[in-house]
Amino acid sequence: MNIEKVKLNISKLKGKKIILKINIGRNRYESVIGVVQDIYPYLFTLRSGEDLKTFSYVDVLTRNVIIVN
């Protein structure tokens, strides 16, 4: 998989509710449920309640952020 495929897959999820599993280090993960808000050239944003979180496509490519559907 390359970065262009990651961007394409995430752009298809815009406006949809998803679950992200985020690697927070030492083999620990945090799950976040939210809606993909905006798509930018190098990152995307996820609205989770009142919080707006930002993730890069490289995080998804390197499996630091995993999209769970």
Give the pLDDT of residue 25.
92
Rounded to a whole number of angstroms, the distance between the first and last alpha carbons of the chain is 18
Reference 42, options 56, 54, 27; nearest CA is 56
Give the pLDDT of residue 43.
96
Give the CATH number of the domain where residue 30 resides: 2.30.30.100
Give the pLDDT of residue 1.
82
User: For 7-44, how does the pLDDT look when each residue is reduced to its tens digit (9 = 90+)?
Assistant: 999 999 999 999 999 999 998 999 999 999 999 999 99
User: How many structural domains is the chain composed of?
Assistant: 1
Give the pLDDT of residue 69.
77
State whether residue 5 is helix, strand or coil. Answer: helix
- Predicted structure pTM score: 0.88
Give the pLDDT of residue 26.
92
How far apart (Å, rounded) are the C-alpha atoms in residues 47 and 13?
Answer: 13
Which residue range forms the structural domain that includes residue 49?
A: 3-68
Looking at the predicted structure, is the pLDDT value of residue 68 above 80? yes
